[in-house]
């Protein structure tokens, strides 16, 4: 397989440089042209990019340009593989939105090319295919490329809308019962050569589980992080246009301000759910690799 889409990634980075330059130019226009939701993660963005929230266009441009793994020390030593969230709105020129549309096109093209490249590989575990992609990216000069960062699309607001509505959508959590046999097979598949100390330790934990707790295993999956949903109002019609993990670009003429929009709190409102005591789940995972927890004993 000689073809690998490194050229697409190179062109994407070139267009992201253009987008950054145009956003900085847009920031010089007068009027209320920027709104960033004051989420707790905003401080992490400032730390990661050494840019203050008082410069929202520069901060947003740095986030759009993020195609690498974040440093583990950025924002308090969190997981370097995470994607930073920064919902909000930016008023930009038509030319800037055209560049952003080209950025989105290249992102989608690169994502499809990676999928096609992996599909053409011989049959092998998915983790092995992922490793080969990382090796190829490194060989083409992108050793820290982070696909989840690269694939993220920039939401573009249609021109001339009457209003923009922002609202929180909470993360969805699913909890399902799993068996000892299911866990064992999953761990074995993750480390078929038995060379990963962490996986082997978890297999030993599973093997030592008291039989009386064999039906207490629960896998917890968070389907998504809380995110900001974006909708527009046009001629009294309400239409959703996407989710704002990064600021939404809104086309504005020079000197104009953002259309009417909703300002929201920095995190979703808390809800309290009653949980039966005998169904409470241990907060720390029993098998971290599988996100499997144990139900607490009734007497705990």
Q: Tell me, what's the pLDDT at 196?
A: 84
Query: What is the side-by-side order of every strand in the sheet holding 248-251?
Result: 34-36, 88-92, 248-251, 156-157
Residue 205, φ and ψ in degrees, nearest 5: -60, -45
Q: Tell me, what's the pLDDT at 298?
A: 65
CA torsion angle for 19, 20, 23, 24 (degrees, to 10)?
A: -150
Measured distance CA(270)–CA(267) in Å, rounded: 9
Q: Tell me, what's the pLDDT at 63?
A: 96
Measured distance CA(39)–CA(61) in Å, rounded: 18
**pLDDT per residue over 30-78, tens digit each?**
889 999 999 998 998 999 899 999 999 999 999 999 999 876 545 444 4
* Strand 156-157 with 173-177, pairing: unpaired
DSSP annotation of 272: -
- Per-residue pLDDT 10s for the chain (300 aa) are 567 889 999 999 999 999 999 999 999 988 899 999 999 989 989 998 999 999 999 999 999 999 998 765 454 444 545 688 999 999 999 999 999 999 999 999 999 999 999 999 988 888 888 889 999 999 999 999 999 999 999 999 999 999 999 999 887 778 889 999 999 999 988 888 888 888 999 999 999 999 999 999 999 887 667 889 999 999 889 999 999 999 999 999 988 999 999 999 998 886 544 444 445 888 899 999 899 999 987 655
- Is-contact 219 126, C-beta < 8 A? no
DSSP annotation of 74: T
**pLDDT per residue over 235-260, tens digit each?**
889 999 999 999 999 999 988 999 99
């Amino acid at each position: 397989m000689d073809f690998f889409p490194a050229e697409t990634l190179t062109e994407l980075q070139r267009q992201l440089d253009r987008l950054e330059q145009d956003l900085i130019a847009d920031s010089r226009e007068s009027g209320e042209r920027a709104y960033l939701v004051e989420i707790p993660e905003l401080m992490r963005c400032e730390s990661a990019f050494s840019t203050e929230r008082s410069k929202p266009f520069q901060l947003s441009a740095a986030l759009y340009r993020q195609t690498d793994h974040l440093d583990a020390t950025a924002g308090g030593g969190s997981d370097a593989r995470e994607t930073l969230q920064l919902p909000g709105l930016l008023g930009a020129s038509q030319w800037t939105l055209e560049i952003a549309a080209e950025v989105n096109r290249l992102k989608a093209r690169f994502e499809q090319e990676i999928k096609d490249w992996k599909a053409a590989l011989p049959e092998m575990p998915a983790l092995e295919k992922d490793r080969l992609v990382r090796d190829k990216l490194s060989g083409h000069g992108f050793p820290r490329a982070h696909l989840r960062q690269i694939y993220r699309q920039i939401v573009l607001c249609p021109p001339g809308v009457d209003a923009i509505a922002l609202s929180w959508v909470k993360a969805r959590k699913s909890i399902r019962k799993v068996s000892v046999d299911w866990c064992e097979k999953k761990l074995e598949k993750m480390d078929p050569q038995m060379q990963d100390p962490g996986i082997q330790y978890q297999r030993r934990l599973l093997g030592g589980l008291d039989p009386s707790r064999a039906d207490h295993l629960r896998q917890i999956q968070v389907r998504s992080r809380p995110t900001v949903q974006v909708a527009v109002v046009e001629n009294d019609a309400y239409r959703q246009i996407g989710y704002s993990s990064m600021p939404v670009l809104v086309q504005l003429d020079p000197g104009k301000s953002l259309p009417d929009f909703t300002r929201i709190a920095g995190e979703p409102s808390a809800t309290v759910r009653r949980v039966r005591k005998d169904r409470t789940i241990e907060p720390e995972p029993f098998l971290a690799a599988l996100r499997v927890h144990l139900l607490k004993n009734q007497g705990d």
